[in-house]
Structure 1
Amino acid sequence: MTTPSASSNSSSHVADARGPLHTGPGDQNIYYGLYYGDIGASASSDRSGRDPRQVAVEELRSLRRRFVDPAGSERARELLEDKRAVMLTAGRGDGARTAAKVFLCQLPQGSRRFRELVDQAEEGDSAGRALDREQVERGAALLLDLSTVPSRRYETFMAELPWFLKVVRECDAWLAVVLPVQWRAGFEHVFRGLVVGLGRPDPAAVLQAHLRDGGIRVRRAEVAVPELEHELRTATMAQTADLSEDIRAARDAAPPDSGFAAWLKTALAAHAPGAQDVEAHLSGLDSGAQRALLLTTALLHGARTDTVHEATVRLARAVEHPEVATPLLHHRTLTARLTEIKAAAHQGRVRFTVAGYDAGVRRWFWDNYPQLRGPLADWLRAAPGFTALERAERLELVTRFAHERLRTGPPDGLAALAERWSRPSASPEELTMAARALGEGVVHARYGSHFRQQLYRWAQDSALPAHRAHVVIGVCSEVLSRRFPDQAMIRLRHVSRHQEKGVRVTAREALARITDSDDRLYRSLLRRLTPGAEPRGLRDLGIFLHVADAARMTGDATVGPLLADHWTAALAHLPPSRWQQPLRAWLERAHTRPAVRRAALRVLATACARQRAAFGAVYAAACSWAAGDAARQHTVNALWEAAGSVPRPHPSHTPAAAR
């Protein structure tokens, strides 16, 4: 942030003095400040509020701690070291993608340099290219996951990879490619020697590693029990990780004197319910009303009894189940009906009595009643009106629906819900649901591209309804930036040019947030900005002044010239009233950071040398900032000296002459 304010230490945008701009008659929509915090927090299921880029680095480090080398790992590392590239194959669910990430992150500063590449078609590449040399920065650790791309795009990627590999090597970068399970033949002559087949990691060792990372240390003998071995025999690595989480949850809920055997038994019981169990149960439920209660309980597991009852009635209507005219006092009690579906109300909340049964029920209904999917979406649209449904429960409902929708595809139904929930008349509850739906979609392995392209199209629309624009900002800032930071930055930059001031301010704050702890991303943003006198250039200047920070001068020789260029453009194209406050913030950072002070002042001096007419206003603003403070005045004097030592550029090289 460049502008100190009352809100600078808060994640909320309510206190921003610049505020939303009221551009029309009637009551002002104040979603900008009052509801954006809720939208951003709802996009991700992570409620920690931590910097999303720092979270991404921590997740990579945690992945390294939990990783168990499969057969072929040594060869893969050798290829990365010697050839700067490796192409990995593995069985379905055996963790090839995880292995690629770990191999890259084990390189020097790999966790900081790691980036995941995406199809450039998502970024509006009109030529249909899959790869772009601009994606490769010096020393980058790049992952290209081709395991789920459509066959047509797969062929495009493979055709472009030879020249892309040359760029990777020229930039001293590294590339790990994850190939499909049934990867196409015909490219062997191009990539001969780079393909490594990975074996299946020892699932028991994987489970032990995950448990150890969660604070549970167990001996090999403790996991060598028949029930667990049977579970692990066919489990994917992701399912093994989920089992470790279930064991941790069982430990947290168990009595203090219990041990691993008890926790394991509880966790395995939660994994036990399958399709056959649900089908056998349903065969005894002849009533459509009871089946509606069963499905509603699975979707709203843990919700209040009143909510479950009302939602069940609504679901029965959505599927056009006929209502029976029975006197109210002749109705069966809710307690009796819940018992019949293996559920109970405890402290006013409804849960199944069998652990894990809710997931089994959801999956069974989704797979066996495809004709219910449309009515379920209609029912979900009404969820904001469900009685006593708390925000966390409403968002969990969206997550559960999204998991089933994305598990089978296609993604259009979920995207349509997000579009409806972000329409101009959407309520605050609907906006949070839209954010969660898109947050689940943008990082999905198979369908993420669909949602990322949707966000890109929306972000480019400078007249996008403000409600939807804030949803885009929240999803990009809190979800997309973790796995695809460059894509998040690009979309936020587009939204930062929105026609409404309140949207622009929020998008710029989000840009500052995701680049704050990521020097590479900050540099990439500066490179993409094209400040100038035209409207788009002026809005890029607004972005620059919001993220300009003297403290970012350390450790990268390319940042200083970029900052000097943008300060030059700001002095050339903006009145002093637009850049004075960011300038004061810049001076304050330089003043309090001796390590960057000289370089930061030289940036300003260089800009003033290029725009000599602005130096008087810059110096006056600096003197006003010092306000008689002796230490600050010393910094102002240093700025004066720096301005005198910077050579005046030849007229043909000044920005004004160039234009």
Structure 2
Amino acid sequence: MSERHSTWVDNPRGPMHTGSGDIYFTVGTHLQDTDTSAFRRVADDQLTWLRRVLVDPIGMGEARRTLSDTGTVILAGTPGSGRTSAARILLREHHQDTGVFHELLPDEEDELPLRDPDLVGAGDRLLLDLSATHADRWTAARADLSTLRKAVHDQHAHLVVVMPHGSALDSDLQQYRVEIRRPPALQVFQRHLRVHGVPHEQYLAVDQTVDIPDDEWPMREIAAFADLVRRAREAAPAGHGFRQWYATARKARDDRRQEIATVVTGLREGPQRALLITVAMLHGAHADVVHQAAQLLLSTLRHPPDEIPLLQRKDLAERLREISAGTGPDGHVRFTELDYDAAIRAHFWDHMPELRQYLGTWAAGSVDLNDPHVTREVRDGLVARLAAQYLRTGRGEGLASLAEDWSATTTSRARLEAAVHALTCGLNDPAHGRSFRQRIYQWCANKHLKGEFAQVLVRVCADVIASSHPDQAMLRLYHLARRERGTTRALQEVCELVATSSRLRRRLLDRLARSALSPAELRIFLPACDPVALLAPYDNSSALVEENGVQTSVTTCWRAVLDELPHAEWRPYAERWLHTATDAGHRGDLLLGLLVDAADQCKGKRGTTFATLYASARAAERTAPGGAVRAAATTERLLQKISAAQGLALHDTPPPTASPRGTTP
């Protein structure tokens, strides 16, 4: 794996690293006991939902047959026809016990080119979405598609390509092309309503005077509007029916900028506007939380305190009525009109830009409020709404810096979770995902990380990036693991990630073998190069240990381990190799051979290394799962290989029944 290194600095807040060499950092403990599912992007849930609401577009059946028969399908169609949703569903339907989902990004600097066979692992599900790409990128991809398709076929994988609308396709790939055409808009709309739980007798009985979405609406807009109808139904008074819900949703969809500007103009007092902003940012939160957060916003903005005696002030109910909001029976605060909160957020962000710098500080304080009603849902909602404003206005770098600030100083677990959620919003945004991945790479590989920020990056890489870009996640976790001190969280995550794919483990071993092989990198190699995984068959019968490239990588790294690390540090890993080799037949001999080849390359201390390796094998007999006698046979096989490497003739003798201490070859 080749990569280009570059360094950039944006809004620096501490020591920077712009040259060669390592930077070390310590990761704290705030997130170490966190349930990882709390941060993990719910990719599977999203796909399950997509499958439930998807009305198969015209051509979906042919696409299924083509993918099943050939392992490849190239989807064509107009924008808004549901091509990308169809692509993800097709790959979900081919989920296997082996392989991972991998969205290919051939133009990003730390991704392998499409023609590289190491891009495809056994049973992988690959998505190449080029629906919005420019002509030059599509031309470059087309040149490599045949090579990529062959690798997919050889690895029993599945590939779905979404090609740009109206682009050309080479004649040899035409057999994989399937035209996707949108299903009827009304059918899509009704499917979404049904899945949302809207009674079918409501929307099926509506007459033609209701302006139902038509075939000019893109699929994503139909889905968003159906969700508006759902929310209108949930907020409507008893007795209202579909016609009223639909009208409310239609109004919420309209452009309300002028209306909101007029409302804000009529609210001149600072506390009024603070409450308006707070309700918009914490819409649906409990009244106690809204009250505290509004006071916190005034404090953050250094607004003069209210001098009116407490009992003479307006109560919260009156203040909420002034801004067209109220408290429901559950004690939670909402505006009276649907999506009014979104319009308020956009207004203040767009028309009071000097407020933006304070909102990040206020949001961090709000997630830390000591109130039982400040739940995970409330915190995540606040962060998501703030992130949406940054991303909507093209200020992704500001959101990234905010997440760094939230976790770079002594901080709470809630604030660290908020930082993770903010970066997740950036990574999942179609327009900003690439820049966030690149920025995270620079953080992981090059930048001095302050406070608890490193553990935030570990969670983001392991739980967000890895779900669709496992290669990029592996590389970032590798950089974090080689730099961490005081914890092994990044190391644990990179080992868990490569355990999901033989291809990923191969790439990590290759990356390590071509690195400087510092002690930190060797401490990644030892647990990552698990002998059981090397022996495990993939693609029906192959094993990594039988591959020449893997053997070279493993030998190179083991040589450095034997040459540079203390015996006490590597002995437990060597013992695991020896125990694994006992019951592995000829592949077990390959494991032993790799250890011996590595020791043979320890120039200047070759004999000593052989002796230490042999002594380790004798010691391993005492803890062998299969018993000392069988382990002694493995030791004898190791001794024969050592003798052969030294050019010595060793007569065949029965393996000893007991292990003499201190014996050396």
TM-score normalised by the chain length of structure 1: 0.73
Counterparts of 1:606 and 1:213, CA distance in 2: 59
Alignment of 1:590-629 (within 5 A): 597-598=584-585, 601-610=588-597, 611=599, 613=607, 614=609, 616-627=611-622
The SS at the match of 1:526 is helix
- Deviation at residue 435 of structure 1 after TM alignment: 1.8
**Structure 2 counterpart of 1:100:** 87
**Structure 2 counterpart of 1:521:** 504
Q: Deviations over 1:337-391 (max 9, x none)?
A: 1234343346885321658x3x442245315751335513422223333443636
Q: Deviations over 1:297-323 (max 9, x none)?
A: 121124343442343345457779888
**Structure 2 counterpart of 1:35:** 31
Counterparts of 1:414 and 1:200, CA distance in 2: 36
**Structure 1 counterpart of 2:143:** 163
**Is structure 2 residue 544 aligned with structure 1 residue 559?**
yes
Asked whether the 8 Å contact 1:84–1:175 carries over to 2, the reply is: yes
The SS at the match of 2:126 is strand
Asked whether the 8 Å contact 1:531–1:538 carries over to 2, the reply is: no
**Structure 1 counterpart of 2:568:** 577
Q: Which moved more, 1:157-166 or 1:462-471?
A: 462-471
Q: Which moved more, 1:577-586 or 1:311-320?
A: 311-320
- Deviation at residue 454 of structure 1 after TM alignment: 0.2
Q: How has the CA–CA distance of structure 1 residues 633 and 339 changed in structure 2, closer, same or farther, with 3 Å as cutoff?
A: farther
**Structure 2 counterpart of 1:3:** none
Asked whether the 8 Å contact 1:530–1:537 carries over to 2, the reply is: no
Asked whether the 8 Å contact 2:462–2:497 carries over to 1, the reply is: yes
Q: How many residues align?
A: 590
**Structure 2 counterpart of 1:70:** 57
Counterparts of 2:643 and 2:235, CA distance in 1: 71
**Structure 2 counterpart of 1:370:** 350
Alignment of 1:403-482 (within 5 A): 403-424=388-409, 428-461=413-446, 463-465=448-450, 467-482=452-467
Counterparts of 1:628 and 1:544, CA distance in 2: 23
Of 635, 643, 661, the match for 1:640: 635
Alignment of 1:504-519 (within 5 A): 505-519=488-502
Asked whether the 8 Å contact 2:531–2:591 carries over to 1, the reply is: no
The SS at the match of 1:497 is helix
Asked whether the 8 Å contact 1:402–1:414 carries over to 2, the reply is: yes
Asked whether the 8 Å contact 1:421–1:430 carries over to 2, the reply is: yes
**Structure 2 counterpart of 1:549:** 530
Of 317, 321, 343, the match for 2:325: 343
Counterparts of 1:633 and 1:63, CA distance in 2: 55
The SS at the match of 2:181 is coil
Q: How has the CA–CA distance of structure 1 residues 30 and 458 changed in structure 2, closer, same or farther, with 3 Å as cutoff?
A: closer
Asked whether the 8 Å contact 2:509–2:529 carries over to 1, the reply is: no
Q: How has the CA–CA distance of structure 1 residues 139 and 482 changed in structure 2, closer, same or farther, with 3 Å as cutoff?
A: closer
Letter of the structure 2 residue corresponding to residue 582 of structure 1: Y
Letter of the structure 2 residue corresponding to residue 309 of structure 1: H
Asked whether the 8 Å contact 2:59–2:178 carries over to 1, the reply is: yes
Higher radius of gyration, 1 or 2: 2
Letter of the structure 1 residue corresponding to residue 275 of structure 2: L
**Structure 2 counterpart of 1:400:** 385
Structure showing the higher helix proportion among its residues? 1
Q: Which moved more, 1:569-578 or 1:190-199?
A: 190-199
**Structure 1 counterpart of 2:658:** none
- Deviation at residue 199 of structure 1 after TM alignment: 1.8
Gaps of 5+ in 1: 1-22, 653-659
Counterparts of 1:217 and 1:379, CA distance in 2: 37
Alignment of 1:225-236 (within 5 A): 225-226=205-206, 230=211, 232-233=213-214, 236=218
Counterparts of 1:131 and 1:377, CA distance in 2: 46
- Deviation at residue 489 of structure 1 after TM alignment: 0.6
Q: Deviations over 1:210-266 (max 9, x none)?
A: 78889x7987x6753439985654765446656788899999999xxx99x989998
Asked whether the 8 Å contact 1:342–1:354 carries over to 2, the reply is: yes
Counterparts of 2:397 and 2:247, CA distance in 1: 35
Q: How has the CA–CA distance of structure 1 residues 56 and 300 changed in structure 2, closer, same or farther, with 3 Å as cutoff?
A: closer
Asked whether the 8 Å contact 2:466–2:473 carries over to 1, the reply is: yes
Identity, in percent, stands at 27
Counterparts of 1:600 and 1:217, CA distance in 2: 59
- Deviation at residue 538 of structure 1 after TM alignment: 3.6
**Structure 2 counterpart of 1:333:** 315
Asked whether the 8 Å contact 2:532–2:580 carries over to 1, the reply is: yes
TM-score normalised by the chain length of structure 2: 0.73
- Deviation at residue 334 of structure 1 after TM alignment: 0.8
Alignment of 1:150-549 (within 5 A): 154-173=134-153, 175-180=159-164, 187=168, 193=174, 196-203=178-185, 206=188, 224-226=204-206, 230=211, 232-233=213-214, 236-238=218-220, 273-275=252-254, 283=262, 286-288=266-268, 289-315=271-297, 326-345=308-327, 349-352=331-334, 354=336, 357=338, 359-366=339-346, 370-386=350-366, 387-388=369-370, 390=374, 392=376, 393-424=378-409, 428-461=413-446, 463-465=448-450, 467-498=452-483, 500-502=484-486, 505-530=488-513, 534=516, 536-549=517-530
The SS at the match of 2:326 is strand
Counterparts of 1:509 and 1:447, CA distance in 2: 28
Asked whether the 8 Å contact 1:85–1:165 carries over to 2, the reply is: no
Counterparts of 1:494 and 1:30, CA distance in 2: 14
Q: Deviations over 1:27-82 (max 9, x none)?
A: xx9852343445x85xxxx52x77x7xx7567656655654321233454566556
Asked whether the 8 Å contact 1:548–1:582 carries over to 2, the reply is: no
Counterparts of 2:642 and 2:43, CA distance in 1: 43
The SS at the match of 1:488 is helix
Q: Deviations over 1:74-113 (max 9, x none)?
A: 4545665569451433333x42211122334445849945
Letter of the structure 2 residue corresponding to residue 301 of structure 1: H
Counterparts of 1:541 and 1:509, CA distance in 2: 14
Counterparts of 1:349 and 1:605, CA distance in 2: 68
Counterparts of 1:646 and 1:263, CA distance in 2: 80
Gaps of 5+ in 2: 1-22, 601-606, 648-665
Letter of the structure 1 residue corresponding to residue 631 of structure 2: V
**Structure 2 counterpart of 1:7:** none
RMSD: 4.7
Letter of the structure 2 residue corresponding to residue 295 of structure 1: I
Q: How has the CA–CA distance of structure 1 residues 115 and 495 changed in structure 2, closer, same or farther, with 3 Å as cutoff?
A: same
Counterparts of 2:618 and 2:462, CA distance in 1: 37
- Deviation at residue 490 of structure 1 after TM alignment: 0.9
